[in-house]
Amino acid sequence: MLLEIAKLPTAENSAILLNPADNIAVARVPLAAGNELRIGGQTITVRDAVPAGHKVALRAIQPGEVVHRYGQSIGRAKAAIQAGAHVHTHNLSFEELHFEYEFPAGEAPFPEPENVPSFQGYPREDGRVGTRNYIAVVAASNCAAHTAELIAHSFDDETLPPNVDGVVAFPHGEGCGHSIGPDTDQLRRTLAGVLAHPNVSAAIILGLGCEVNQIDHYLGPNAPRTGRLIGMTLQSSGGTRATLAAARAEIARLMEQASAEQRVPSPASKIVLGLNCGGSDSFSGITANPALGVCCDLLAEIGASAVLAETTEIFGAEHLLVKRARNRQVAERLLRFVKGYKEYLSRFGGSFNDNPSPGNKEGGLTNILEKSLGAVAKAGSSPLTDVVDYAEPVRTPGFVFMNTPGYDPVSLTGLAAGGCNLIAFTTGRGSAIGFPNIPVIKIASNSNTYRRMQDNMDVNAGAIADGEKTVPEVGREIFDLLLQVASGEKTCAERLGHKEFVPWRIGPVL
């Protein structure tokens, strides 16, 4: 259907029917009362003003009747809805769904990669490949966060040696006042993933000295990359100024090592792409997310990894992922994370439907069911090969799921700690987020956002809805851009200096 949409609005192309089973269509352009639509073999007169991206009823929908988008339920009508009426929060209710899951019967094989392209990357001792070459200064706790930033910023105006992308800080508000247990374990897993990240040549782990998250956890003979990891505390180094001077001396030595490292041709199977969406609108599930899904299928074919995150944004669509699982064990781990997250929310009186933001709703997304069905399109159609917890290492090729919140900076932090060396981020309303040591590629779902925030956007998937490009064409465009960015081309977020880093705090403050 999308392939036939012309740019200029007509009765035939002003609304998008996503599935023949749907009883709503999505307005491609703003619709005025009295406009005629010819869609699905029928003519409908628009009864209300319908903003672009919002839903219009294709036939009369009775109270309590299921409303379908993508051929799936997105809730029930609160009241009678007439054909041509605007369908949104005022007349569509959220209803938690209960699925009969279709589990895989056997074991899906991994694809045999053929004709794998290459990019120019930094090979690491553990077999991974970096797309950037940074020196990282990682705070073990909030008490060291300011000094970590001072150390990194002290290099801002200096000329860096060849092959060094910069010195980046990882400040945060955690590391003390934690209970010993899952919360501390998760923070340690997160910071360890940053310290050993393929985009990091060498690192300093910086503590105050007396916090819960002691730097000794990251050091010692069993720690990875021992020759490239320095531990320091402010209390043993003489305070802020003395620590700054000592850290700069260590970084000068680490930079010599990093400068000797060079980009070399590397197989694109070494790409681990994190997937995220933020500021989504109704077009996200029509243009940007399906196009990114095409890119992810191309990655799976060559043995690379694509990692879908945001557990709160698969709720209501998890049955579609279960069907795609490599085996039953993978499917059941996915469902355990969904169940666990639901229990986590219930402790605070929340629900998955609290997720859609005011901006999501203004962009036409009524509830979490509708949002999730569009969000999972980012992962394409290839088998779900593995499911990992927050910040766990990604070791499996193909489509992988990571348990993270939908809150963008926390989600990106988990993906980074898991080893993603690139991130693709789709947005409808607009987003400016980045990450300290990972290129973040921004993909706009509509041309208006792309034009309005062109400094922040790398790809305009809105060209699909405009009728200028197809979903597969934009998917290939994203894939080609990945290889260029992996080889050193800067993204908009990198050029603007966005470096958001927020570990997930899940437990009490003591």
360-387 tens-digit pLDDT: 999 999 999 999 999 999 999 999 999 9
Q: Please state the domain count of the chain.
A: 3
DSSP category for residue 76? E
Q: Extract the residue ranges of the chain whose pLDDT is less than 50.
A: 1-6
Question: Containing domain of residue 55, as a range?
Answer: 2-93
Q: What is the C-alpha to C-alpha distance for residues 190 and 246, in angstroms, rounded to an integer? A: 25
Total residues belonging to the chain: 510
Looking at the chain, the whole-number percentage of residues with pLDDT higher than 70 is 97
Both ends of the chain: CA-CA distance in Å? 55
Identify whether residues 303 and 214 lie together within a single domain: no
Across 400-429, b (16+ Cβ under 10 Å) vs e yields bbbbbbbebbbbbbbbbbbbbbbbbbbbbb
Shared domain for 209 and 302, answered yes or no, is no
What integer pLDDT is reported at residue 451 of this predicted model? 97
Residue 109: inside a domain? no
**C-alpha closest to that of 171 among 417, 502, 487, 430:** 502
What does the pLDDT read at residue 226? 61
- Token code pair at residue 501: 């880093």
Mark which of 61, 93, 125 sits at the end of a domain.
93
* 497: DSSP letter: T
Residue 39's SS3 state is strand
pLDDT, residue 41, reads 87
Tokens of 308: 């879908």
404 found inside a domain: yes
255 and 154, same domain (yes or no) = yes
- Where on the phi/psi map is residue 420: left (φ > 0), alpha (ψ -120 to 50), or beta? beta
CA atoms within 13 A on the CB side of 379: 27
Q: How far is CA 369 from the centre of its chain?
A: 18
Whether residue 189 is found in the same domain as residue 287: no
In this structure, the number of other CB atoms found within 10 A of the CB of residue 157 comes to: 6
3-state class (DSSP) for residue 384: strand
Question: What per-residue confidence (pLDDT) applies to 40?
Answer: 84
Q: Has residue 122 been placed in a domain?
A: no
Asked if residue 458 and residue 323 are part of one domain, the reply reads yes
Task: Give yes or no: residues 283 and 229 share one domain.
Answer: no
Copy the structure tokens of residue 10: 């007509």
Q: What span, in angstroms and rounded, lies between the C-alpha atoms of 231 and 247?
A: 10
Q: How many CB atoms lie within 10 A of CB 132?
A: 26
CATH number at residue 21: 2.30.130.110
Residue 52 DSSP SS3: coil
> What pLDDT shows up at residue 222?
66
Q: 176 lies in a domain?
A: yes
Last residue of a domain, one of 44, 76, 93: 93
* Inside any domain, residue 198: yes
Q: Mark whether 253 and 366 lie in a shared domain.
A: no
Considering the domain architecture, whether residues 284 and 206 belong to the same structural domain is answered as: no
Q: How far is CA 506 from CA 186, 245, 388, in A?
A: 9, 35, 17
How does pLDDT run across 166-179, given as a tens digit for each residue? 999 999 999 999 88
**Contacts of 337 by beta carbon, 8 Å cutoff, 6+ apart:** 311, 387, 389, 401, 403
Residue 451, domain member (yes or no): yes
**Given 260, 289, 312, which residue is the final one in a domain?**
260
Cα 296 to Cα 110, 273, 376, 477, 493: the distances in Å are 15, 8, 12, 12, 21
The residues facing 200 across adjacent strands are: 134
The secondary structure of residue 490, as a DSSP letter, is: P
Q: What confidence score (pLDDT) does residue 97 get?
A: 85
> What distance in Å separates the CA atoms of residue 231 and residue 216, rounded to the nearest whole number?
8
156 and 88 both lie in a single domain: no
Residue 125 falls inside a structural domain? no
Q: Extract the tokens encoding 396.
A: 């499996």
CA distance 116 to 136: 31
Residue 250 lies in a domain: yes
H/E run at residue 361: helix 358-362
256, 296: one domain: no
**64 lies in the same domain as 161:** no
- Cα 3 to its chain centre, rounded Å, is 27
Claim to verify: residue 220 and residue 302 sit in the same structural domain = no
> Exposed/middle/buried for 476, CB within 10 Å: 0-12, 13-18, 19+?
middle
Chain centroid to CA 262: 29
- The pLDDT of residue 2: 43
Residue of 308, 314, 287 whose CA lies nearest to 296 = 308
